[in-house]
A and B are shown apart, each in its own frame.
Chain A
Amino acid sequence: MMARTDQAFMMPPSRWVGYLVALALIVAAPLVLGTPYWRGILVVCAMNVLLALSLNLVLGYTGQLNLGQSAFFAIGAYVSVILVRSHGWNFWLAMVAASAAAGVAGLLLAAFAVRLRGHYLGIASLGFAVITYQVLVNWERVTEGVRGIYGIMPPPPIVLPGLPEISFGNSLALFWLVGGIAFVVYWMLDNLVRSPVGETLRALREDEVSAASLGINGARWKAFAFGLASTIAGLAGCFYPGFVGTLVPDAFNIVESFTMLAMVIVGGMGTMIGPVIGAVVLTFLPELLRSAGELRLMIYGIALTLVVLFMPGGILQLVQIVRTRLAPRADGGGSR
């Protein structure tokens, strides 16, 4: 047991280096891409990273097909805005409550989802997203329905003693905030999936019956994965309204769930870094292709199709193939 605890706290140097590189990238990216437009795209990218990481926990590590992730994103966005605007809550408190609300919604879905598998679960989760969307559209007294909520302010500034005020009205600070949170979430999930909990989730993914024979309570652990993933998606949703300034139900239609799914699959499902790569690529690619004019969507579609066809393991598979080819062969094959 002692040895195991030591292993958990003693990370290999390569992981430390990876974390430091990620932190450096988060700090440097908005300084390199120093215009409001590109910084705005970085904020969207950070939100997408959170969403892809959350879906990956359910889909990639636990093997549960969830097509309703946009619902939790929406719950986070709406609950935080309603608490702030209608009930006068502090944004940071509202953010915690909204994330928790999304988590509870995830647990509610899990109560039904644990009985289902594969396509059936996919359809049930899709249904959940449709129901959530309809609630947003029709519960007008609370959500304003299709008329939407406008003039939403970014998170309030943070005042730390002895330091200048940090205002999130500019996308530089907002990106560092959302990017920083995405980094912390990544770090937590990375440790989680390497822990016995992660092994349990992977066991469920591989074979539920075998896992049950080892004493794993599948229903409980699936509910855990759903709850945690929806909390993270809700957290991402809290930053969306303040960034766009408006909130309408159409921003959370089921197409968004498929975009999140594409991020996870294109990047590399069941790995930690894969969904991050997927989120970055699928956020930046459409913007970089804008110069291609009307060909943009065609190129985007073809690129996605090619990745899925020839790299079922996602972009990460390509990286691994290249790394394997470049590495010196241990069997001395190079001398033949």
Chain B
Amino acid sequence: MNIRPSPRRVAVALALAAFALIGSASHAQEKVIRVGVLMPISGPASYFGVQGKQGIELALEQVNAGAGPAGYKLQVQYEDSACSPLQATNTVKRVLEQFKPHIVIGEECSDASLAIAPILEQAKVPLLNAGSSAVKLTESGYKYVFRIFPTADQQGTMLGRNAFEKLGARTAVLLYEKTNAGVDNADTFEKVFTAAGGKVLARIDFGRDVNDFTPIATRIAALGKVDVLPTFGLEGQTVRLAQALAQARVVRGGGGTAIQLGSIWLPWGFEQKAGPASEGYIRVVQFDPTEKRKMVTDFNAAFRAKFGAAETPTHINAHAYDSILLVAEAVRRGATDSESLRDRFSKMQGVEVTTGRISFDAKGQTSDLSVIHFVETQKDLSWKGMAW
């Protein structure tokens, strides 16, 4: 059969070829890295989810601007895992199945993070965690778990050592919520502080349902001279605890002598909520919005432009923002799928983000302690950086 290429046939063929080319070009533009985000959007820890979402939205706007990192767009799907192991388990299965993420960011609560880690490990999808301090998460041999949040060991060790050496503290009373993270922080502090020669006079734990801290404050007041009060709790309870301790004239904010010490858990704005009771409070912060580093000032400006001039980003905003920046950085370094994301993360050293520099060790834990800063609350409730 002889088919002669008539001009009409050639035109149709050319049109089809052009259509196919345009189609493939537009397909090429749709290169995406899917990021599943598991956060508590409901329940008592929902403020993590709300603030985390702000940080992610801002970071997405920036990294997806123009062609995106290495021509990829980051696509995010949020899911409410409610800080609960069961909900987180169901949610991560849903995300894996329906969204097919290349990477998952979350959860905030240690119990939920520990529940999803083995599922993601089995699915060979990296987990980038920015809010759980339970040591187990990066000490269980997982190859796909990475964490940019200092562990309880890292925070507690520095707190314990500095309390003894820099503050000259010799006695302490440990105050901590009875959770995985609270116990881990208190244990580490006690180990380091007592090894240095300090004495722990009492360990006082409390559940997340405790609202009135007057009995605890009264008990501490009856213990005599206490130098430091390492406190590990969520913001709402710590505000009430600081006020009760001030009322009992235990801490400096109430005319006493004891210094309250705290961990990264407390966000920016804690002092304004606790009021004069927070004077003299020394705590670890991972994000200091008053820092003059360009990355921080740019982040502050962008955050205010998007969410309001009166807003100051918290460490939760910063953690979420940084998580997206790190994913984008891995993509810039050639990551295109879960396996290569894991590979690029495992080689990351000294990557600058708003909270400091991130360097992952062999266990997936950030080992660069530049992310830990100490600040002291002044009389006017401002922060004074400690040169520790």
B275: interface (CB < 8 Å) = no
Closest CB in chain B relative to A336 CB, distance in Å:
53
Is A244 touching B86 in the complex (CB atoms < 8 A)? yes
One digit per residue, 1 when the CB lies within 8 angstroms of any chain A CB and 0 when it does not, for chain B 69-112 equals: 00000000011100011100110011011100000000000010
Partner of B97, one of A37, A245, A296: A37
Known A-B contacts A137-B178, A251-B85; A245 and B90 likewise in contact (beta carbons under 8 Å): no
Chain A CB within 8 A of B115 CB: yes
- Residue B326 lies at the interface, judged by CB distance under 8 Å to chain A: no
Give the CA-CA distance A13 to B11 in the complex, in Å: 71
Partner of B114, one of A137, A150, A250, A297: A150
Interface size grouping (class) on chain A: 20 to 34
Q: Mark A16-37, 1 if CB is under 8 A from B, else 0.
A: 0000000000000000000111
A331 contacts the other chain (Cβ, under 8 Å)? no
Binds B, one of A140-148, A181-189, A322-330: A140-148
A37 touches B98 (CB 8 A): yes
Taken together as a complex, chains A and B put the C-alpha atoms of A150 and B140 apart, in Å, by 10
A170 at the B interface (CB under 8 A): no
Residue picked from B79, B84, B90, B119, most chain A C-beta under 10 Å? B90
What residues of B have a CB within 8 angstroms of the CB of A246 in the complex?
85, 111, 114-115
Contact B79 A290 (CB under 8 A): yes
A248 to B114, CA, bound (A): 11
CB distance from B197 to the nearest CB of A (A): 28
List the A side residues contacting B85 at CB < 8 Å: 244, 246, 248, 250-251
With a cutoff of 8 Å between Cβ atoms, the chain A residues found around residue B178 in the complex are 137, 145-146
Q: Which residues of B lie under 8 Å from residue A287 when comparing CB positions?
A: 90, 94
Say yes or no for A151: interface residue by CB 8 A criterion: yes
| Choice from B93, B180, B182 contacting A36 with Cβ under 8 Å | B93
Specify which chain B residues have a CB less than 8 angstroms from the CB of A248 in the assembled complex: 85, 111, 180
Given contact pairs A137-B207, A244-B115, A146 touches B180 in the complex (Cβ within 8 A): yes
A250 engages B98 (CB within 8 Å):
no
Q: Are B89 and A244 in contact (CB under 8 A)?
A: yes
A145 CA to B183 CA in the complex, in Å? 10
Instruction: Beyond the given A146-B178, A251-B85, please list 18 additional residue pairs across the A-B interface where CB-CB is below 8 A.
Output: A36-B96, A37-B96, A40-B90, A137-B178, A145-B178, A145-B183, A146-B180, A150-B114, A150-B136, A151-B118, A243-B89, A244-B89, A245-B118, A248-B85, A250-B85, A251-B84, A287-B90, A290-B94
User: Which 8 pairs, one residue from A and one from B, show the smallest C-beta to C-beta distance?
Assistant: A37-B93, A37-B94, A37-B97, A246-B115, A248-B111, A246-B85, A35-B97, A244-B89
